[in-house]
Amino acid sequence: MRTIVLDQPGHFRMTDTPTPDAPGPGQALVRVRHVGICGSDLHAYLGEQPFYTFPRIIGHEVGMEVEQIDANDRGIAPGDRCTLNPYLSCGHCVACRHGKTNCCESLKLIGLQEDGALRERFLVPVDHLHKSETLSCAELALVEMLGIGAHAVQRGRVGSGDTVLVIGVGPIGMTVVQFALLAGARVIVMDRSEPRLDFVEKNFDIAARINPDQDPIPQLRQLTNNDMPDIVFDATGNIPSMQNAFDYIRHGGTLVLVGIIQGQVTFDDATFHRRETTLLSSRNGTAADLDRVISHLERGDIRSANWITHPVAMDDMIGSFESFLDPTSGVIKAIVEI
Ligand SMILES: [Zn+2]
Ligand SMILES: [Zn+2]
């Protein structure tokens, strides 16, 4: 069967691999239909992702059909369309015991530490499947990414009428915008990239857009009746941006760091304390987050057309991959049809 292997950074190879054996206990054999290309996949290709080992079959944002599965308590049968919860948690560490499987001490990601979905078929754990009666496999390939925003917005306890600032509106920041709007918030976005701001303004009902190079604090004061935003999300993973974000929160407000960076983030304690700031990180998503995303997609609360900007056939993926790295290509989400 056709399989795309990332042999080493910068080098994909289309190859033939044997079809997997029949599924063992607790496993399902799935036919992959669509795979989303994630920021972490782009970092792997560029050799900037320290957790990858090579060769690796990447791909963790999956829409697929179940081909072989035993009777199971999740009610999933052959022919069902599903997405994958790609996070493998250990089930017994302190985080897992507290229900926080998304930050398990020994978390593994299918498509990063284990081979993923850029192939026609593979075996997946049944208890990591999430099905939908109505969504297409392309829509199901969006669920994991949207789960990042669903989780972050829940972490920030965003409520109706809150003013939310989202800094960095690449794909992950956009998922935060999406779920903050669904929570009933008034959303201001901040980004250095005018094309990204244009895209978000065109596709989402935002209250305002700010370029951080244009003296943002007076603009934020003006937009919030001098109060400043209730909850600020930083999705840049950029240290100066993360540090500046401490200055954008109202007194008694919350800062959620969604983007991750290797390095030290520092802040002025007096500013932090005077405001009694609540500081949170947000990592990945949980199975419950994925179910919430599926419900919103099924109800039509999320327009999948906003997200799938670059559909590509499996045969064309390797040749197109460099263009996904080019910010001027306007790529939000490339979805590979397998
Ligand atoms: Zn991802
Ligand atoms: Zn664990």
Question: What is the average per-residue pLDDT within 42-47?
Answer: 89
What's the CA-to-centroid distance between 149 and ligand 2, angstroms? 22
Q: How far apart are CA 256 and CA 237, in angstroms?
A: 12
Please, where in the chain does CATH 3.90.180.10 lie?
A: 2-141+308-337
ipTM value = 0.96
What's the CA-to-centroid distance between 86 and ligand 1, angstroms? 9
Question: What is the average per-residue pLDDT within 91-102?
Answer: 94
Looking at 78-217, which runs of residues are DSSP E strands? 81-84, 87-88, 108-109, 121-125, 129-132, 163-167, 186-190, 208-210
pLDDT band at 152 (very low <50, low <70, confident <90, very high): very high
What's the CA-to-centroid distance between 86 and ligand 2, angstroms? 14
Q: How far apart are CA 306 and CA 315, in angstroms?
A: 24
What's the CA-to-centroid distance between 186 and ligand 1, angstroms? 26
Please, where in the chain does CATH 3.40.50.720 lie?
A: 147-281
What's the CA-to-centroid distance between 36 and ligand 1, angstroms? 8
- Which ligand has the nearest atom to the CA of 97? 2
The per-residue pLDDT for range 167-222, each reduced to its tens digit, is 999 999 999 999 999 999 999 999 999 989 999 999 999 999 999 999 999 999 99
What's the CA-to-centroid distance between 286 and ligand 2, angstroms? 13
What's the CA-to-centroid distance between 144 and ligand 1, angstroms? 7
> What residue spans of 47-90 are helical by DSSP H?
none
Q: Which residue has the tokens 């399902």?
A: 28
What's the CA-to-centroid distance between 320 and ligand 2, angstroms? 37
The pLDDT value recorded for residue 329 is 76
- Which ligand has the nearest atom to the CA of 88? 2
- Which ligand has the nearest atom to the CA of 108? 2
CATH architecture type of domain 147-281? 3-Layer(aba) Sandwich (3.40)
- Which ligand has the nearest atom to the CA of 83? 1
State the average pLDDT for the chain: 94
CATH topology of domain 2-141+308-337: Quinone Oxidoreductase; Chain A, domain 1 (3.90.180)
Residue 27 has pLDDT above 80, yes or no: yes
The per-residue pLDDT for range 213-253, each reduced to its tens digit, is 999 999 999 999 999 999 999 999 899 999 999 999 999 99
Q: Which residues surround ligand 2, an ion (CB under 5 A)?
A: 89-90, 93, 96, 104
- Which ligand has the nearest atom to the CA of 91? 2
CB 313 within 8 A of CB 337: yes
- One-letter amino acid of 313: A
pLDDT band at 52 (very low <50, low <70, confident <90, very high): confident
What's the CA-to-centroid distance between 147 and ligand 2, angstroms? 19
Q: How far apart are CA 109 and CA 86, in angstroms?
A: 6
What's the CA-to-centroid distance between 90 and ligand 2, angstroms? 4
Residue 59 has pLDDT above 80, yes or no: yes
Give the burial string for 61-87 (b: 16+ CB within 10 Å, else e).
Answer: bbbbbbeebeeeeeebeeebbbbbbbb
